Structure 1
Amino acid sequence: MVSGRANSGPGGPVLLSLRRDASPGPIAAGSRPQDGVRRRVVHNPLPRDPVTTGAGAHARTVHPSRRPALVLLALTALSLLLLLLLPAPPGRAAPGDDPVGEWPLRPRPEVVDRFDPPAVPWGAGHRGVDLAARPGQVVHAALPGRVAFAGRIAGRGVVTVSHGDTRTTYEPVAATVEVGDLLPAGAPLGRLELAGSHCFPRACLHWGWLRGETYLDPLRLVGAGPVRLLPLWRDAPWPLPAGLRPAGAPAGRPGGGGRW
């Protein structure tokens, strides 16, 4: 066996190994030449160390493994810049920027119970305001939007209207709208019911406003400012026949009222 020294190739050092057969055979016409030497070329893998390009003061070291990370960092920075420069979607109020709405009852109603959010998500409180009304009174949308829910929950008629990043709720209401309806501000939603009233045996509308799962004071939509509460018993309550309990009212409390 005859071995030669390693030469340098484009991909790294090249080891040239030569092996001579003891008795090479004759070469047939048209066949592969047989000179008795078998050649095998072995290429070393590319070096993983940094590569230095240039010479002298202009020499520069390139780290191949860092290039993908630098490209990814540049793309991320560009994406964040584009998000900051793009305008916000129209029709959505930024947090803290209250839209101008309308009262859901006409004429302007008296507020009989104010907004009193709970200290914890499932704690006691009042997640909206109660507005004095009469059974059968028309309830209107406070803001333009799309009907997200219209039906009954625990025996109470409920209508929810979505306004982008916020939504308003109205109850107890017998809905005259359907899910998916697009409504302008002031559009009729339905008529007020007595069953499920917070103010039972008086009728009142419970009006709520939410951003995500956070309850907000709906009076901010109408710029009501400080609220003067109306006594529930200023007038005589709506009379009910003895022993009559409205549909949806739990046993033990005639009207199914109460704060929530």
Structure 2
Amino acid sequence: MMITLLERVVYEEPSNLFTMAMPPIIFLSLAILGLAEASGIHLQYSKFCINMNFMNMVGSSSSSSSSHNHSVIKLSSRTGMLIVYTPPFLAGVASFILFSGGDSRFLLVKSALTFHFFKRVMEVLFVHKYSGGMVLDSVILISTTYFTTTSTMIYTQHVVQGFQEPLIDLKLFGVVLFLLGICGNFYHHCLLSKTRDQKGDKSYKIPRGGLFNLVICPHYLFEIVQFLGVSFISQTTFSFAFALGSALYLTGRSYDTRKWYLSKFENFPKHVKALVPYVF
């Protein structure tokens, strides 16, 4: 029954090693990262950047912290995030030149991915207010993942041109989800930036307003909705694998984010969940 449903919502795809191997690779990679986040092993950015972890360690000597600090390369958050989001944005732009043809679905996929990363670059430059830095290893890993997944999603959409389309067309529903996700994500990023209303303020506060009154990571929730929207527009195996894998990663990250807020703020409201209102 599950196979029959998948056949109705997923493109017929060419049987080549690349298109067959990439969906399980990206799904498992993101799922493992999500499990690591939930277990306290983090990609080093934002509140989980390694320097903040050093400050919170108990019983570590200053000499050992100093020697460990020298073993990592740390960038400013603004620089790190630009390195993360610029390559996939350029991949999206290049796709309009490299794959100038295609049907309306292909145009929507290219446009959605390009606009998503354009928005991210603009937020890095004009919206976000930063508390710390990013470790270079994490910057390279995240940037490579975004660039690879964006390029693969676009390429996969290119190679299915001319193949049998899914019997159930989800692309208009996908457009609605994408727009809802990108607007909700932007709105809550703006609310986050307002928690630091003074220049140079790098302290953390409990964010308020919007869905922050119900969950601590509504920006992650809307990012999941956004990538789900892209997968509904695309309707390829890879796009669904990426959307599900991203959801698992962001679930793990949000779970430990809530734990972090609970540990830092005695007045953190216990009814505020991690990701899904009233549920999780």
Question: Shorter-chain-normalised TM-score: which range?
Answer: under 0.3
Scaled by the length of structure 2, what TM-score is found? Answer: 0.21
Larger RCO (alpha carbons 8 Å, 6+ apart)? 2
Scaled by the length of structure 1, what TM-score is found? Answer: 0.23
Q: Greater strand percent: which structure?
A: 1
Larger radius of gyration: 1
